[in-house]
Structure 1
Amino acid sequence: MMLASKIQRRAFSASARNLSKVAVLGASGGIGQPLSLLMKLNPRVTELAVYDIRGGPGVAADLSHINTKSSVKGYDPTPAGLAAAIKGSEVVLIPAGVPRKPGMDRDDLFNTNASIVRDLAKAVAESAPEAKLLIISNPVNSTVPICAEVFKARGVYNPKTLFGVTTLDVVRASRFVSEIKGTDPKDENITVIGGHSGATIVPLFSQSNHPDLSSNAELVHRVQFGGDEVVKAKDGAGSATLSMAMAGARMAESVLRASQGEKGVIEPAFVDSPLFKDQGIDFFSSRVELGPNGIEKIHPVGNIDAVEQKLLEACLGDLKKNIEKGVAFVASNPGQ
């Protein structure tokens, strides 16, 4: 309830004319249900659209009994239902896809989730091309480029409105540091750059209040592979869903805050970035300043220490391959 209360406190000052429609595609899943709940609790949201290949209307009926002002509607799993769910949305969240199982990494999910994200991206491109599109479906390093290629093919690509949600890496880093240092996690502001899979996740502890932690290899590994802890603990029953939903809701809240005029809203996100384009890497996660139209400024990596430089170099090699994989998928599998 702490996140819900925080979201509500922040948003109460928003005027009714600024409130927004948000669509969750994949709303019946392990991430989708708690994410939809958090969106229902967000006073910035006037209309919540929930869609899935099964169970969307049921999730909507359940959410509609919650005593917040927003309306909720579930849509049938048809092309017309999907189009109606998306139409008029300011923010579209895509958590749809299959979860990881023990022994799987995010890239193992690629073949299934790539097709799902491609088809949903097509629907967004056709029904709400100006929406801020937040991709949660893994592997994010590849699914975000897939969405970009889909939008480019339809002539509606806007790099300022496409986001890969990497917020969970920051949330984990803050929590893990607080456990070590005995601090409040909300007071820890750990910058995490790169991508959203294993070695592509690069926490920059040298830029935090605890620069000594950059040499803590165990901590770095835990931030990079924290999702494995959850997959193992769930013993084949799923991956990180509740924490990912919280992270997705935080990112959506930040996008809405900026859309409604708040200044200085900064979140990490995997976006079309100039930072490493000279190395053939078109997408990169760093601190992104948000505004009414999406991305206003992409912050540079800044000063990092020698340990982090090595992590960054390892990240870039893997990240380039992940991005190329997403682009190649769309070229080979354009779909209908």
Structure 2
Amino acid sequence: MVKAVVAGASGGIGQPLSLLLKLSPYVDELALYDVVNSPGVATDLSHISTAGPVKGFLPKDDGLKGALTGADIVVIPAGIPRKPGMTRDDLFKINAGIVRDIIEGVAKYAPKAFVLIISNPVNSTVPIAAEVLKKHNVFDPRKVLGVTTLDSVRAQTFTAEVNSDSSNKNPSKLNIPVVGGHSGDTIVPLLSKASPAVNVPAADVEKLIKRIQFGGDEVVQAKDGAGSATLSMAYAGFRFAEAVLRGAKGESNVVEPSFVYLDGKAIAGADKVKEAVGVDFFAVPIEFGPSGATKVVDVLSGISDSEKKLLSVAVEGLSGNISKGVDFIVNSASK
């Protein structure tokens, strides 16, 4: 029996993500947690004719404890969008605090669960989660996973559009490794590692890379300020969650990218990536197994010179993002 929890289930990502998880054959029970509306969302989903109960929880009456107790996988899209007059630092502090508090609950009530973090900024919220779990002595690098799948989904879709090889126009059949982080120029698509190989006209390469890196802006503009990428992110989060669950059930060769902790020996090949990039967290294709992230798929060897330059820029940005997350927890503890 697999109990899945969505923390932030009433939001723009949380609702469609919860719907997809309700339809998944890998999920037997669904618990929805949010500060508002989660019982209503749960009741709505419970009318769907697939097996498994759905229950909604609010903060009152120890709702976080009720949602998380017995959880096998916790998916966290919780957070707020940036509002008029709000600085990016204001937004960071609010979302960082939300993630910290949910992870405190995970540490207490579901310390062995897989933790999938969607809440932005992922480059900082994953280090926040790691620091909180370390504080409680329950941190397992194989199970704390930043969801960067949307970058790969966009890479597949956008590359297929400009690929001059007419036989490779189906985005679902393309594998475009995307490494680094999950924001702007920390996102590094490795077109040279595409499988099957793609043929992108030279004049379109730079434009394609920028579109993959800043695809979120495209959605915000198209929604005319009324929202951001919620449906595509829900799909990506669901795809990632199913990959984790498929690996947990023993299925072999299950690979998805994830922003993971590289230090130590928990994930095979992670130390080699850390040696190459010099940061503690990094997004790279991961093979999943019963214990979570089991090994890194090496895609950094033999990349092009232009990709090496992109990687250098990404690492510089990541270093500051990671430090910001770690410092948030250190400074919170010192107050």
TM-score by length of 2: 0.90
> What stretches of structure 1 of length at least 5 have no aligned partner?
1-18
Question: In 1, distance between residues paired with 2:199 and 2:326?
Answer: 37
Instruction: List aligned pairs for 1:1-336, cutoff 5 A.
Output: 19-78=1-60, 80-100=62-82, 109-181=91-163, 183-208=169-194, 209-210=197-198, 212=200, 216-273=205-262, 274=271, 275-276=273-274, 280-300=278-298, 301-334=300-333
Query: Structure 1 residues 79, 210: CA separation in 2 closer, same or farther (over 3 Å shift)?
Result: farther
Measure how far apart 1:70 and its partner are. Answer: 1.5
Partner SS state of residue 245, structure 2: helix
Identical-pair percentage: 54
How far apart are 1:100 and its partner, in Å?
4.4
Determine the C-alpha separation between the residues in 2 that align with 1:63 and 1:280.
Answer: 44
- Alpha-carbon distance between aligned partners in 2 of 1:213 and 1:190, rounded to the nearest angstrom: 16
Q: Deviations over 1:126-150 (max 9, x none)?
A: 1001000000000000000000000
Residue 170 of structure 1 contacts residue 192 of structure 1 at CA under 8 Å; is this kept in 2? yes
Distance 1:108 1:176 in 2: 32
When residues 156 and 290 of structure 1 are mapped into structure 2, their CA distance, relative to the original with a 3 A threshold, is same
1:195-220 Cα distance to aligned partner (Å, 9 max, x none): 00001000000011126568710000
8 Å CA contact 2:3–2:70 kept in 1: the answer is yes
- Cα 1:106–1:284, aligned 2, differ >3 Å: closer, same or farther? farther
1:103 CA drift (Å):
11
1:75 CA drift (Å): 1.1
Return the alpha-carbon distance in structure 2 between the equivalents of residues 79 and 328 of structure 1. Answer: 32
Please give the alpha-carbon distance, in whole angstroms, between the structure 2 residues aligned to 1:174 and 1:104.
33
Indicate if the aligned counterparts of 1:174 and 1:188 stay in contact, CA closer than 8 A: yes
Q: What letter corresponds to residue 52 of structure 2 in structure 1? A: S
Question: What letter corresponds to residue 258 of structure 1 in structure 2?
Answer: G
1:240-268 CA deviation, whole Å, 9 max, x = no partner?
Answer: 00000000000000001011110111110
1:86, distance to aligned residue in structure 2 (A): 0.7
Distance 1:93 1:305, change over 3 A: same
Kindly tell me the number of residue pairs found equivalent between the two proteins.
318
**Alpha-carbon contact 1:106-1:197 (below 8 Å) kept:** no
With over 3 angstroms needed to count, the CA separation of the structure-2 counterparts of 1:66 and 1:156, relative to structure 1, is: same
Aligned partner letter, 2:173: D
The aligned amino acid for 1:59 is V
Query: In 2, distance between residues paired with 1:217 and 1:147?
Result: 34
CA pair 87-74 structure 1, distance change in 2 beyond 3 A? same
Q: CA deviation at 1:232?
A: 1.3
CA-CA distance at 1:322 after TM superposition: 0.2
In the alignment, what sits opposite 1:5?
none
> Contact 2:162 / 2:200 at 8 angstroms: preserved in 1?
no
Contact 1:101 1:231 in 2 (8 A): no
- Report the more deviating stretch, 265-274 or 244-253: 265-274
The structural deviation recorded for 1:276 is 2.3
Q: Does the 8 A contact of 1:199 with 1:224 survive in 2?
A: yes
Deviation at residue 237 of structure 1 after TM alignment: 1.4
In the TM superposition, residue 334 of structure 1 has moved relative to its aligned partner by 3.2
Question: Normalized against structure 1, the TM-score is what?
Answer: 0.90
1:63 CA displacement = 0.3
Consecutive unaligned residues in structure 2, runs of 5 or more: 263-270
Residue-by-residue CA offset, 1:82-127 (whole Å, 9 max, x unaligned): 0110111111000000124699997773121000000001000110
What secondary structure does 1:333 align onto?
helix
- From the superposition, tell whether residues 175 and 106 of structure 1 become closer, same or farther in structure 2 (CA, over 3 Å): farther
Task: Work out the CA distance in 1 between the residues paired with 2:98 and 2:189.
Answer: 30
* Aligned-residue CA RMSD (Å): 2.1
1:166–1:80: structure 2 CA closer, same or farther, 3 Å change rule? same
- How far is the alpha carbon of 1:177 from its aligned partner? 1.0
Say if 2:159 and 2:200, in contact at 8 Å, map to a contact too. no
